[in-house]
Structure 1
């Protein structure tokens, strides 16, 4: 009975995944589309090689096409070149071993060690496995003649061409959804962190204790690391993608290039600056007398202005409805000038205030550098 319950639970899980792949836009749908494309490529390759051409080794065409519908068009092309190269080498080595030995077992003993070692060459990647596989096919079938070898290579090339064309011309994969999600998350969490810090300093009450600010600022660095990886994956999906412009026109989520409030490259510097600012604010919060009373309001205004500057949807269709992040940058500038005027002089021996001066100035400078159309940044003392 427990086994039946487990099986039913697994079937329900599979059913939900299939339903999401059909009704929802996301990884499940992308996986389903690529799987159907791979199956279609194999069927088409068999139709060309087996049904139309009547090739003697027609199985090689769909077998090759099936595994060349990769996650990106660029990766399909690289895999096609790698696989064809290793198949050629494996086929030639196997044919040579068969001709020299004249015996199946002896040919296997001679060819397999060399092809397996060849398949471990790093430049061949995962396709290196096909070198010993091709050798096995050649020796097992005992087909060593020049025409047999030519047919094998032609059918492999046909399958590679079919797999590559299907992946490039039929819904070519574009992996930019994770980039958009991480970028929105980075902006939203940075703005929330700055706003929570302002609320805590202004009312001495907040859901998160100041000790959490450091952890949350560090976590932004982890999100940025994920964003870098997702960005590389997205850029690769656009390489050699012939229909990416059409995809942008037909997919409602890609009708225009994204325009985030803060560019990706600016976050590399900004996350470090936010971490230093949170640590300075933690020191201020634990020692209230370290901050002059007339400096509190400008500090809160600076934090809220910076929160607005880093926030903002990256979808240009909705960016008009929300507040303009440039307004937040202007507010942060004005508040920062007032804050510096109300803090102790740069030469004063006040560690907390000196750290706050430096950290807030660096954050503002990073925000201004992230906006080339902004006004000339003012000087921020260290």
Structure 2
């Protein structure tokens, strides 16, 4: 069974605690550093969700700690008074901390300045110790995150790859069943709302893919933890962006039309149901998908014929739905080709493996 997010959180928490303990053992117990707290404090917060994030945060934190320390030391050297030095150094440190490129690490600029001013540790050796202990903690945090079960975030992409077809198929089946009987606008608006939410899943997929890509950067152990199923290519996201947009357009036309001529549901419902069957089929069901797609194509031909009937009273709505379903089937054909190619490749690999 694949580990869930709770396990990942537990592992990262234990790694952060372990990094802090290791940093304290080196800086406080073995080195007897005068400001040993800085090493475990830095290590604790640099066990981030990805190795790349740990490296970036370490660079940002070292920069802000250096700047905050030097600002405070300079202000104290000029004023020789703690309160006056705070009034001089803290505004600049807070402004620096709010610089967007420093991200969440910007907070440590005024924090480092306060440490210096509160304890009066502004001599050259004190400043050097602060920087060395910060660097030690950063190195330990990065090393622990990279060497001990380095995080790889590919699960979200795989989960959404399964969720999108399932949700689209469920909605298409619901709409197909719904238009076979009289429906009101409230019900059609419900279908449209569900279609709009499909776009949120596509957005979530893009976010998950960015997280997955980031987790592979500078990660020395990702090959050891590679998932058995490779993530889909990036153009897969754009395909599903189009598919969800087509479904949204179809449900919008249904909600705006309010009703359909008697002959339309008889051809539109089978087409939407067959399109849903394409998406609901098993990944290895090559022939099943082909049959469902052929059924949808035949139903669309009948829908186009209904549009050509000049006596049809729902021509504006029917014309929009005919165009949208045509575009939907074109993209579904691309999905079917990709899925069938994957199925054949897996079968061939299993046969030769």
Bucket of the pairwise TM-score, normalised by the shorter protein: 0.7 to 0.9
Between 1:337-346 and 1:234-243, the stretch displaced more is 337-346
Among candidates 281, 285, 301, match of residue 337 of structure 1: 301
Q: State the match for 2:262 in structure 1.
A: 289
Q: State the match for 1:5 in structure 2.
A: none
Deviations, residues 255-282 of structure 1 (Å, cap 9, x unaligned): 221459x922212111111122224455
TM-fit CA distance, 1:76: 1.4
Among candidates 334, 345, 357, match of residue 322 of structure 2: 357
Q: State the match for 2:4 in structure 1.
A: 26
- Cα gap change, 1:100 to 1:351, in 2 (>3 Å): closer
For the 8 Å contact 1:312–1:323, the answer to whether it is kept is no
The 2-side partners of 1:325 and 1:239 are apart by 37
For the 8 Å contact 2:154–2:231, the answer to whether it is kept is no
Q: State the match for 2:280 in structure 1.
A: 311
Q: State the match for 1:378 in structure 2.
A: none
Deviations, residues 72-94 of structure 1 (Å, cap 9, x unaligned): 22221111111100111111122
Deviations, residues 276-318 of structure 1 (Å, cap 9, x unaligned): 2224455788234353xxx82x5444223311333356xxxxx
Q: Does 1:62 align with 2:26?
A: no
The 2-side partners of 1:236 and 1:337 are apart by 45
Q: State the match for 2:345 in structure 1.
A: none
Q: Does 1:256 align with 2:256?
A: no
Matched positions, count: 337
TM-score (norm 2): 0.82
TM-fit CA distance, 1:246: 1.1
Between 1:129-138 and 1:299-308, the stretch displaced more is 299-308
TM-fit CA distance, 1:110: 2.6
Q: State the match for 1:35 in structure 2.
A: 13
Among candidates 244, 268, 282, match of residue 241 of structure 2: 268
The 2-side partners of 1:311 and 1:25 are apart by 26
Q: State the match for 2:213 in structure 1.
A: 235
Among candidates 97, 120, 125, match of residue 98 of structure 2: 120
Give unpaired runs (5+ residues) of structure 2.
Answer: 341-353
Deviations, residues 309-357 of structure 1 (Å, cap 9, x unaligned): 33356xxxxx336975454334323433344345425898832432332
Between 1:46-55 and 1:337-346, the stretch displaced more is 337-346
For the 8 Å contact 1:214–1:275, the answer to whether it is kept is yes
The 2-side partners of 1:352 and 1:39 are apart by 61
TM-score (norm 1): 0.77
Question: Structure 1 runs of 4+ off > 6 angstroms?
Answer: 346-349
The 2-side partners of 1:232 and 1:136 are apart by 36
Q: Which of 1 and 2 has higher RCO (CA within 8 Å, sep 6+)? A: 2
Deviations, residues 168-225 of structure 1 (Å, cap 9, x unaligned): 22122223333333332221121011122223344669xx944432222122123223
The 2-side partners of 1:123 and 1:85 are apart by 11
Give unpaired runs (5+ residues) of structure 1.
Answer: 1-22, 249-253, 314-318, 376-382
The 2-side partners of 1:285 and 1:116 are apart by 58
RMSD: 3.3
For the 8 Å contact 1:277–1:363, the answer to whether it is kept is no
